[in-house]
Amino acid sequence: MAGRLNAVLSFISHYKYLIVTIIGVLIIGFIDENSFLKRFQLELQIGDLKSEINKYTEQYEADSRQLNELKRHPKAIEKIARERYFMKADDEDIYVLSDDEKPIETNNEASE
């Protein structure tokens, strides 16, 4: 038993720097809160947030252009009311056309 213990202690004392380096890399790389895995997850999250920022910036610019158009031309308000909210003048009729396809009915009894 003492021989085994001496062999293990000899191995540890011979490779102590390598063992400490490997344990340090494992702690820093995988276990620590600033690990490489956490950093990778945060990089992915940053990429998603940047794409959201771009989307909202584009939406803001489009809305700003539309708001400026509404401020410059009062007829634009009437156009938006007609297109989006189906409002009409007293002497007009509105027809709403849909591009939705009707579902095809499959009736086995009719084909028999």
Q: What is the pLDDT of residues 49-63, one digit of tens each?
A: 999 999 999 999 999
Per-residue pLDDT at 81: 75
Residue 105 dihedral angles phi and psi, to the nearest 5° = -85, 130
DSSP state letters, 39-103: HHHHHHHHHHHHHHHHHHHHHHHHHHHHHHHHHH-HHHHHHHHHHHH----TT--------PPPP
Give yes or no for a contact between 30 and 36, defined as CB atoms under 8 angstroms apart: yes
Q: Provide the percentage of residues in the chain whose pLDDT is more than 90.
A: 29
pLDDT for 73 equals 85
pLDDT per residue as tens digits for the range 47-96: 999 999 999 999 999 999 988 988 888 787 877 777 777 777 777 777 77
What rounded mean pLDDT belongs to the chain? 83
Q: How confident is the model at residue 105 (pLDDT cuts 50, 70, 90)?
A: low
Query: Tell me: the pLDDT tens digits for 2-53?
Result: 788 888 888 888 999 999 999 988 888 888 787 888 889 999 999 999 999 9
Q: In the prediction, which pLDDT does 78 show?
A: 78
